[in-house]
Amino acid sequence: MVNRGLSFVMLLTLGGLSSSFVVAAPKDDFSFFHDFKNWEVVCDNVKRCVVQGANDEAGEGEEVVVWLSRDAGPDGGMRLEVASGKAVSADQMRIDARAFSTDPAKWKTWQADSAQSYGRRMATNDVSVITAWVSAARDAQTMSLGDPAAAHARKLSLAGLSAALLAVDSVQGRVGTVTAWRRAGTAPASSVPAPLPLPGVPPAAPAPQMSAAEQQRLVDATFTRFQADVQGCYMGDDEGPLKAAPKGSGAQALSASDALVMLDCADPSYNGASLWYRVSRKPPFDGTRLQLNGNTGVGADTDSGEQLSNGLAGARYDPGQRSLESFERERGIGDCGAVTRWIFDGTKFVLAARRIQGQCAGIDVDDWPSLYRTRP
């Protein structure tokens, strides 16, 4: 497991557990993110929850990851997905070395060509199968694909799964109801809170044009005004005070009156920090640091130990889509961290999506659970 250094600010006490957990709940309606031993739980802003387990220290050919998801509401849909680097099938599954009896016809298997480490997949949406799996696995020790005692066995520790299931029940208001995975009771399904609607994002505003000469003027003016910010963030090879904006800085028009200016911090590590400003296109080019809801900023760089002054990590702006996206990597290969995207609606940048992955186990970004979603 990696050290999860993201902004964990909400204190949530799960009913029936003996302790409280500090979990990620940044502003802007983010919900829940926490790890329980070998498992982590991510619930988004409408309380759709994903429970994920991965054997992150497995050798080559031994990789296994499981995603168990559930939508909010009395009839929230379920999905159980298993992935590995080698072929998978329902009849391979063992829980504490005992075969998990299931009808293979209720599972779909396929090759996920875009996945680098976990391309072989199987999944089911069948409630009876998933309920039986939860019942068998929640108090067990190990799930495996094939004999767990075999050489190079593909097996996954179930330590923490029980607490993870209870976390989902608590977030979705299922504890004490007949729908609960871990702490069921007699309360009817109708007592489970209804799902929340996904928020919408206004359509992106048309992108105005800006000449290369104007872009350079804005970069130069913004650097002059905020040179101290850039110097504090800068991690390039130059020694002494910076005399000009670092190479890679740029500007894009937001409107007829405003521009978006990026000043590169030239971070030589994998996160590539940058500072972003909203600047007037007319002299004296007044500007302010861009305000982004849902932005946790960049924490301490683990290689250098230096603080990156709350710049955006791995950020890029797409003028065609009017979208700004950051990619905070917890390690260089980018298999854990957070990806956040905002859309410019003509007035401000609006949070559109955020994905998060705490466990560094070779899982591609496309498989990271959502912490915040909006309607397409």
Instruction: Write the burial class of residue 157 (CB in 10 Å: 0-12 exposed, 13-18 middle, 19+ buried).
Output: middle
- Each of the 376 residues of the chain gets a pLDDT tens digit; together they read 333 333 222 223 333 332 222 233 334 454 799 999 999 999 999 999 999 999 877 677 788 999 999 999 999 999 999 999 899 999 999 999 999 988 999 999 999 876 677 889 999 999 999 999 999 999 999 999 999 999 889 999 999 999 999 999 999 999 999 999 999 999 999 999 999 999 998 888 788 899 999 999 999 999 999 999 998 888 766 667 888 999 899 999 999 999 999 999 876 666 788 999 999 999 999 999 998 876 433 332 333 323 334 578 889 999 989 999 999 888 878 888 999 999 998 889 999 999 999 989 888 999 999 999 998 7
Question: Under a CB-based contact definition with an 8 Å cutoff, are residues 154 and 86 in contact?
Answer: yes
Which residue type sits at 7? Answer: S
Confidence at residue 154, expressed as pLDDT on a 0 to 100 scale: 93
pTM of the complete model: 0.84
Q: Which two tokens stand for residue 172?
A: 């979705």
Question: With b meaning 16 or more CB within 10 Å and e meaning fewer, what string describes 12-39?
Answer: bebeeeeeebebbbbeebbbbbbbbebb
Confidence at residue 214, expressed as pLDDT on a 0 to 100 scale: 97
Confidence at residue 21, expressed as pLDDT on a 0 to 100 scale: 28
Q: What's the structural domain count of the chain?
A: 1
Q: Has residue 312 been placed in a domain? A: yes
Confidence at residue 17, expressed as pLDDT on a 0 to 100 scale: 30
Three-state secondary-structure class, residue 305: coil
Counting every residue written for the chain, the total comes to 376
Give residue-wise pLDDT tens across range 339-351.
Answer: 999 999 888 999 9
Confidence at residue 376, expressed as pLDDT on a 0 to 100 scale: 78
Q: Has residue 282 been placed in a domain? A: yes
Q: Has residue 68 been placed in a domain? A: no
What torsion do the CA atoms of 309, 315, 319, 322 make, to the nearest 10 degrees? -80
Confidence at residue 254, expressed as pLDDT on a 0 to 100 scale: 94
Q: Which position has the token pair 């982004």?
A: 292
Question: Under a CB-based contact definition with an 8 Å cutoff, are residues 26 and 45 in contact?
Answer: no
Question: Under a CB-based contact definition with an 8 Å cutoff, are residues 294 and 27 in contact?
Answer: yes
| Calpha distance 253→282 (Å, rounded) | 12
Confidence at residue 304, expressed as pLDDT on a 0 to 100 scale: 30
Q: Has residue 343 been placed in a domain? A: yes
Q: Has residue 139 been placed in a domain? A: no
Provide the residue range defining the domain that includes 248: 226-372
Which DSSP string do the residues of 79-136 spell out, in sequence order?
Answer: EEEEEESS---GGGEEETTEE----GGG-EEEE-TT-SS--EEEEE--HHHHHHHHHH
Confidence at residue 301, expressed as pLDDT on a 0 to 100 scale: 31
Give Dmax (Cα) for the chain.
Answer: 74
Give residue-wise pLDDT tens across range 41-99.
Answer: 999 999 999 999 998 776 777 889 999 999 999 999 999 999 998 999 999 999 999 99
Distance of CA 345 to the CA centre of its chain: 23
CB atoms within 10 A of CB 370: 19
Q: Has residue 198 been placed in a domain? A: no
| Calpha distance 279→166 (Å, rounded) | 48
Instruction: Write the burial class of residue 219 (CB in 10 Å: 0-12 exposed, 13-18 middle, 19+ buried).
Output: buried
Confidence at residue 76, expressed as pLDDT on a 0 to 100 scale: 96
Q: Has residue 193 been placed in a domain? A: no
Q: Has residue 125 been placed in a domain? A: no
Confidence at residue 125, expressed as pLDDT on a 0 to 100 scale: 98
Confidence at residue 265, expressed as pLDDT on a 0 to 100 scale: 86
What torsion do the CA atoms of 183, 358, 137, 128 make, to the nearest 10 degrees? 80
